[in-house]
Amino acid sequence: MTLVKNNLVIEDKWTFVGDEEDLPKTNAIVTLKRWQEDREALLARFDNLGIVLRSDENPQVIAEDVSFFQVIALDFPVYTDGRAYSYARLLRERFGYKGELRAIGNVLRDQIFLMHRCGFDAFEINQGGNKALKIWLDAQKEVTTFYQPTGDGRNTVLSLRERRRLAKSAS
């Protein structure tokens, strides 16, 4: 398993903690259940806290809490379960989440790019380091034209057309 972020393979400092497992000293990624049950204790204990949401756990329930987390991990149990694409956009574009948004689970070469467009910036890829990085880099190169405005800051076709129309009417 390799974690790719910002065009780099990075070391994963975080620990995913199951509901019954002991908590590490720092950098814990807890489940929604644990967060809801132990919220105050977790906040008292950790400076660095993350949360993982299953694909049937809607981030609406943590909409007010996002600033407490440095990592939010969203799970793709199978690549065909596309709920987390919407979750990612809601977290970024509506709830104002600025920390690491990590894709975990069935994260594959041909979906990674869509994930990035929806706001994911970290990817757990089930491959060795070099292979994982290549998958990420290759996936970035394939498409350069985007019709949909998302929160990713890429120029859309419409904005490019508008720019052209303005330039044309100015000249």
Partner 1 sequence: MYKYDDYDQQLVDERVEQFREQVNRRLSGELSEEEFRPLRLMNGVYLQLHAYMLRVAIPYGTISTAQMRQFAYIARTYDKGYGHFTTRQNIQFNWPKLVDIPDILKDLSKVQMHAIQTSGNCIRNTTADQYAGASFDELEDPRPWCEIIRQWSTMHPEFTYLPRKFKMAVTGSPSDRAAVAIHDIGLRIRRDDQGDLGFEVMVGGGLGRTPMIGKTICEFLPKEDLLSYLEAILRVYNQFGRRDNKYKARIKILVHEIGAETFADLVEKEWVHIRDSALQLPQSEIDAIQAHFTPPPFEVLPSLSSVFADKVATDQAFAYWVKNNVREHKQQGYAIANISLKPVGGIPGDISHTQMDALADLADQYSFGEIRSTHEQNLVLAHVKRDDLYALWQKLDAYDLATPNSGLITDLIACPGLDYCALANSRSIPLAQRISNRFGELDRQHDIGKIQIKISGCINACTHHHVGHIGILGVDKKGQEFYQITLGGRADEHAKIGKIVGAGFSTDEVVDAVETLIDTYLNLRENKEETFLDAFNRVGEQPFKEALYDAR
**CA–CA gap between residue 51 and residue 46 (Å, rounded):** 12
CB contact set of 21 (below 8 Å; sequence gap of 6+): none
Site for partner 1 (CB under 8 A): how many residues? 35
Asked whether the beta carbons of 48 and 78 are under 8 A apart, the reply is no
| Residue 94 touching partner 1 (CB under 8 A) | yes
85 binds partner 1 (CB under 8 A): yes
Nearer to partner 1, 49 or 104 (CB): 104
Is 118 a binder of partner 1 (CB under 8 A)? Answer: yes
Smallest distance, Å, CB 4 to partner 1?
18
Kindly state the DSSP code that residue 128 receives in the 8-state scheme: -
By CB under 8 A, tell whether 131 contacts partner 1.
no
Binding flag, residue 111, partner 1 (CB under 8 A)? yes
Give 26's Cβ-side CA count (13 Å radius): 5
Smaller CB separation from partner 1, 43 or 158 = 158
- 36: its two tokens: 């809801």
The rounded distance, in Å, linking the Cα atoms of 154 and 147 is 10
Tokens of 134: 């290549």
| Minimal distance, residue 94 CB to partner 1, in Å | 6
110 forms part of the interface with partner 1 (CB under 8 A)? yes
Site of interaction with partner 1 (CB under 8 A): 58, 79-83, 85-87, 89, 94, 110-111, 113-115, 117-118, 142-150, 156-162, 165
